[in-house]
Amino acid sequence: MATNNGDQAQVAAQLAERWEQDERWAGVERTYTADDVVALRGSVIEEHTLARRGAERLWDLIHNREYVHALGALTGNQAVQQVKAGLEAIYLSGWQVAADANLSGQTYPDQSLYPANSVPAVVRRINNALARADQIDVATNGTATKEWFAPIVADAEAGFGGPLNAFELMKGMIAAGAAGVHWEDQLSSEKKCGHLGGKV
**How many Å apart are CA 58 and CA 69, to the nearest integer?**
11
What is the DSSP secondary-structure string of 18-66? Answer: HHHH-GGGTT---SS-HHHHHHH--SEE---HHHHHHHHHHHHHHHHSS
Q: Tell me the C-alpha distance between 114 and 93, whole Å.
A: 13
Distance CA(84)–CA(78), nearest Å, equals 10
Distance of CA 165 to the CA centre of its chain: 16
Closest CA to 166 of 157, 154, 179: 157
Q: Residue 34 and residue 39: Cα distance in Å, rounded? A: 9
| 193 is known as an active-site residue | yes
Of 137, 193, 194, 199, the active-site residue reads 193
Reported as type and span, the H/E element at residue 70 is strand 70-72
Side chain identity, residue 181: V
Q: Which residues are known to be catalytic?
A: 193
